[in-house]
A and B are shown apart, each in its own frame.
Chain A
Amino acid sequence: MNEKYLWDKSGKPDPQIQQLEEILGALRYEHRPFKIPGDLVIGRRRSYVPVLAIAATIALALLAAGLWLRVQNQKAPQFRAEDARPTVVPSGIKENVPKPLVAKDESLDQRPKELRVPIHHRKSAGNLLAGNLSRVKYSPEPDLKPSERREALIAKGQLMMALRLASEKLNLAQRRTQLSSPANLLRNQHKVG
């Protein structure tokens, strides 16, 4: 084997190497300018399927949560404010307890006409009361059972009544003490004298 030909093609050519060169010559590097194929589509359309699927899942989850809350709300018993208020009122007390406002006369409704709802389209007063109380339900005690909640409402009414009486009597004692204090007696004596 002529190694010079193998090394730098300077010696006598070796037929075996020449044959190999011919076979592998097809794979030789050929410099060509860069060409973009004509059938290539530039800026292919993006697929929105995954995004849509995610959005649909979120929407479904929200819908399900809304339905669940509605069902839970309907399950809770509806109470009227009157239930919580004790029926007996001691003497000497003015009943200033605010009552739910239900405008019976259209002329009393101060809202713009377009915002008014005809009376026959409104919910009944009982439902309105229950609606007001539902605010109380969500604010502080989500873990009360319906029976406990009813008990709590009654207890709250009684508590208010008891505190009202206690406050009233304390103030009465305070007023009477002030009226009968020696300072007042002296003042009165001075006025008389």
Chain B
Amino acid sequence: MKSLSTRKTRLPLVALLLVLAATLTAKAQGAKIQLNNLDHLAARASQTVDVNIDERLVQIAAKLLSSVDADEKKIKKIVDGLKGIYVKSFEFENAGEFTPADVESVRSQLRGPAWSKLVNVTSKKDGSVEVYLMLVGDQISGLAVLSVEDKELTVVNIIGPVDLEKLSQLEGQFGVPELAIEPPKPKTKN
């Protein structure tokens, strides 16, 4: 009789946990953007970066990161818990090699209620950079960066809990090359 009652209370609990886990997994998977629409641009691009790292590969790669070396330790912390990293970056010789429709195919996926736009900087001269976050409660479960320039189109999609501060600190560290942005020149008087 007692075992029957405990089983009765345990079953809904297990079911609830399963539903919760499934929801969280679905939510995490929902952070993945479909980037296949951009594949045709590779033929026209002078340089292409195509990175597809799923959860298994993230875990395997993380195994190679040293927990002793300070720089690799930082990267390991960033990578820890990530469910996937997907990047597509195209650089072209000439402007106008990709259409607004190509950009829209990515942007439209980020307009859903799950995503919130964190940053949107648009400039006629330098193009636009958009940063989107997917939040579950207070925690980030996905990041998407869409960078559009005249001759360059880059989409970064990271799935899982991302530490934005740590990630932005990575540039220029651990053989991660610094961005070749020249500091603003002092204005000369006419």
Binary CB contact string for chain B from 162 to 175 against chain A (1 if under 8 A, 0 otherwise): 00100111111011
Tell me which of B23-31, B33-41, B101-109, B152-160 binds A.
B152-160
Q: Which of the 9-residue segments B7-15, B53-61, B134-142 touches chain A?
A: B53-61
* Cα A162 to Cα B178 with chains together (Å): 14
Q: B57 — which chain A residues lie within 8 A by C-beta?
A: 151-152, 155, 158-159
Is A73 in contact with chain B by the CB < 8 A criterion? Answer: no
**Residues of chain A within 8 A of B158, CB atoms compared:** 162, 166
CB of A50 within 8 Å of the partner chain = no
8 Å CB contact of A159 from B85, B172, B178: B85
B51: interface (CB < 8 Å): yes
Which among A90, A97, A140, A159 is the interface contact of B53 at CB below 8 angstroms? A159
- Residue contact B89 to A90, C-beta cutoff 8 Å: yes
Given contacts A90-B89, A173-B119, contact A152 B177 (CB under 8 A): no
Cβ of A174: which chain B residues have Cβ within 8 Å of it? 119, 168
B147 touches A140 (CB 8 A): no
On chain A, the residues within 8 Å of B123 by CB distance are: 176, 180
Say whether A92 contacts B64, CB under 8 Å: no
| B94 interfacial by beta-carbon distance below 8 Å | no
- In the assembled complex, which residues on chain A have CB atoms less than 8 Å from the CB atom of B86? 162
Give every chain A residue within 8 A of B95 (Cβ-Cβ): none
- Chain A contacts with B in 58-102, Cβ cutoff 8 A: 86, 88-98
Are B152 and A165 in contact, CB atoms less than 8 angstroms apart? Answer: no
**Are A148 and B60 in contact, CB atoms less than 8 angstroms apart?**
yes
Could you say which residues of chain A place their CB within 8 Å of the CB of B151? 91
Using known A-B contacts A140-B66, A170-B168, determine if residue A91 contacts B61 with beta carbons closer than 8 Å: no
Which chain B residue shows the least CB distance to A96?
B177
Q: Does B16 contact A (CB under 8 A)?
A: no
Asked if A170 and B60 make an inter-chain contact with CB atoms under 8 angstroms apart, the answer reads no
Contact residues in B for A166 (Cβ distance below 8 Å): 85, 87, 143, 145, 156, 158, 167
Interface residues of A: mostly helix, strand, loop or mixed? helix
Question: In the complex, which residue of chain B has the Cβ closest to the Cβ of A98?
Answer: B175
A10 CB within 8 Å of chain B = no
Given A90-B91, A155-B60, A173-B119, A140 and B65 touching (CB < 8 A)?
yes
**Would you call B67 and A140 a contact (CB within 8 A)?**
yes
B179 located at the interface, meaning its Cβ lies under 8 Å from any Cβ of chain A in the complex: yes
Closest residue of chain B to A166, judged by CB?
B156
Interface residues of A in 149-186 (CB under 8 A from B): 149, 151-153, 155-156, 158-177, 180
Please report B residues at the A interface, Cβ cutoff 8 Å: 47-49, 51-53, 57-58, 60-61, 63-68, 75, 78-79, 85-87, 89, 91, 119, 121, 123, 126, 129-131, 143, 145, 147, 151-152, 154, 156, 158, 164, 167-172, 174-181
Closest 3 CB pairs of A and B: A155-B61, A176-B121, A141-B63
Between A and B, 29 residue pairs with Cβ closer than 8 Å are: A86-B51, A90-B91, A91-B152, A92-B179, A92-B181, A94-B180, A96-B172, A96-B178, A98-B175, A139-B66, A140-B66, A158-B57, A159-B61, A159-B85, A160-B75, A161-B49, A162-B51, A162-B85, A163-B75, A163-B79, A166-B85, A166-B143, A167-B171, A167-B176, A168-B171, A169-B131, A172-B181, A176-B121, A177-B119
